[in-house]
Amino acid sequence: MLIRRARKEDYAAFAAIEAQYPGFPAWGPGGFETEEGNRNSVTLAAEAEGEVAGFINFWILRPQVQLNTLAVARAHARRGAARALVGKLCEYAAKNLCREIDLEVNERNSGAIALYAALGFEVVGRRPKFYNNTDAALLMRRTLPAKD
């Protein structure tokens, strides 16, 4: 599993992955392109067997990192792509002296919640009707150890 910076040529593949998950708050290629203009924004691609297996986008807003979007193609599920993408996010966070990583996840998305719990995130809040004025979001946070 290779984790690398995303390129413009990846965006169509990212959009195709988003489309595999009905109800997923998709950015589409244009959303990823817009992020290129935000200097706090990092988009990474996971590559496996020569194809794009997944992506992550986050903002480095020291002392926090906000995880905005993450998805892995169904064909590459449960092979550690998401774990590797979040692991790389944590490396960026540590290098940028960030102390916590925050995200919102649909409270009905049990797979993603299990992923984040396995990676050390804890539920720190809940936002009712966050998605389409219907589903609630759980706010999850992982605190990173201070560097002396």
Ligand X SMILES: CC(C)(COP(=O)(O)OP(=O)(O)OC[C@H]1O[C@@H](n2cnc3c(N)ncnc32)[C@H](O)[C@@H]1OP(=O)(O)O)[C@@H](O)C(=O)NCCC(=O)NCCS
Interacting residues toward ligand X by CB under 6 A: 21, 24, 70-72, 77-83, 105, 109, 111-112, 114-115, 118
Nearer to ligand X, 97 or 117 (CB): 117
Tell me which DSSP letter residue 46 carries.
E
Residue 94 beta carbon to ligand X: minimum distance, rounded to whole angstroms: 19
Q: Give min distance, CB of 84 to ligand X, in A.
A: 7
- The one-character DSSP state at 88 is H
Nearer residue to ligand X within complex by CB, 44 or 72: 72
- In whole angstroms, how close is the CB of 147 to ligand X at the nearest point? 26
**Closer Cβ to ligand X, 29 or 80, answer by number:** 80
* Residue 54 C-beta: closest distance to ligand X, Å: 6
**Separation CA 112–CA 129 (nearest Å):** 18
Residue 101 structure tokens: 């990583």
- Between 19 and 97, whose beta carbon lies closer to ligand X? 19
Identify any residues that bridge with 72 across adjacent strands, giving them in sequence order.
54
Q: Which residue is nearest to ligand X (CB)?
A: 111
Q: CA torsion, points 88, 115, 124, 19, in degrees to nearest 10? A: 90
Smallest separation (angstroms) from ligand X to the CB of 113: 8
Q: How far is CA 108 from CA 19, 34, 142, in A?
A: 18, 28, 20
Output Rg (C-alpha) for the chain, integer angstroms.
Answer: 15
Considering beta carbons, is residue 83 or 99 the nearer one to ligand X? 83
